[in-house]
Structure 1
């Protein structure tokens, strides 16, 4: 149902309505205004539905990644704890042996160090394979 209404508009608004009329080959300003409002409502509807989809996606990503982040946090805590224990043990060993200096692995890497490195790399590889198999 159409209803007549007298309104006062800014010149810029009238110019925009006229431009819209020309672009869309519309005869009357009221019809142009009706179409402009309909397009605006459609855009609002699309924006609202996009917002809804985005919020659903954000919630889903949060659920998925929160579990992964929890695992990473636990692994980091465990690694940190193990590293601190090793540092304490190494310090105690150095004190017990009255070591004044240290030969770094850059200068010389003992067979024991090579074996330990290989064992750790193998353990990490095995854990990675278990995670991939679990998925």
Structure 2
């Protein structure tokens, strides 16, 4: 790795942070401490992106599962509705046929009465 010398100006808080970091990690040079801090920052961003991708994947899977359950529920409801309509239609047709038979029966009975006279 090629190193490049830089002259930078830092606020006292940042300087104190870097010095504390150097003591904690037993580093001798400020540049090494800054490099380690930057490397840790990059790794943290990668972990955050990876965890964000996992969250997005989990949410997408949950939404997909929910949509499948809703489609299944709607299909069952439509099937039930179709059966109810079919049953109602058949009952109505039966009622109309019964009424027609009764009317024809009454008509036929009246013809028979006229015939008997």
| RMSD between aligned residues | 2.2
Q: Please report the TM-score for the alignment, with normalisation by the length of structure 2.
A: 0.59
Aligned partner of 1:39 in structure 2 is 40
Compare relative contact order (CA 8 Å, sep 6+) and give the higher one, 1 or 2. Answer: 2
Aligned partner of 2:26 in structure 1 is 25
Q: CA deviation at 1:20?
A: 0.4
Aligned partner of 1:10 in structure 2 is 11
Of Structure 1 and Structure 2, the greater helix share is in 2
Q: CA deviation at 1:46?
A: 0.8
For structure 1, the 5+ residue unaligned runs are: 83-135
Larger Rg: 2
Q: Which runs of structure 1 show a deviation greater than 3 angstroms over 4 or more consecutive aligned residues?
A: 69-78
For structure 2, the 5+ residue unaligned runs are: 85-117
Q: CA deviation at 1:70?
A: 3.9
Q: CA deviation at 1:26?
A: 0.6
Q: CA deviation at 1:29?
A: 1.0
Equivalent residues in 2 for 1:118-133, closer than 5 Å? none
Q: Please report the TM-score for the alignment, with normalisation by the length of structure 1.
A: 0.52
CA-to-partner distance for each residue in 1:22-41, whole Å, 9 max, x for gaps? Answer: 11111111101100000000
- Give the length in aligned residue pairs: 80
